[in-house]
Amino acid sequence: MAVHDVTEGRGKPLAGEIHEVDARGEICPYPLVMVQKVMRQLKGGERLRVKVDYPKSSEDIPRWAEEVGHRVLGIQKTGEVEWEISLEKKDDGDA
């Protein structure tokens, strides 16, 4: 299954092995679940950009990523209640 299929059209690959999940409009736990599904399909070193508009998700997703060993490349507030989280999949494992 392609990465962009797991979120029913809401996750899509971008240029240069950067993938994107648009979880705006979703509340916990769905943004994290969407990110976990996509991260399982990525190869080590591939990157994921996540867009969220639920404040708790802007905290929970980076916390989960660090706990399982992925790199949090950045968290940027892009609107009054919107964030963009950049992650990089760890080289080993399949969290």
Whole-angstrom Cα distance, residue 90 to residue 76? Answer: 21
State the pLDDT at residue 3: 36
User: Which of the residues are catalytic?
Assistant: 28
Is residue 87 predicted with pLDDT exceeding 60?
A: yes
State residue 16's pLDDT score: 56
> What's this model's pTM, rounded to 2 decimal places?
0.80
Token digits of residue 3: 């990465």
Q: Could you report the per-residue pLDDT of 4-53, keeping only the tens digit for each?
A: 333 444 455 544 578 999 999 999 999 999 999 999 999 999 999 999 99
d(CA 40, CA 17) in angstroms, rounded, equals: 15
3-class secondary structure per residue, 45-93: CCEEEEEECCHHHHHHHHHHHHHHCCEEEEEEEEECCEEEEEEECCCCC
pLDDT at 5: 35
CATH superfamily of 3-88: TusA-like domain (3.30.110.40)
First to last CA, the chain: 17
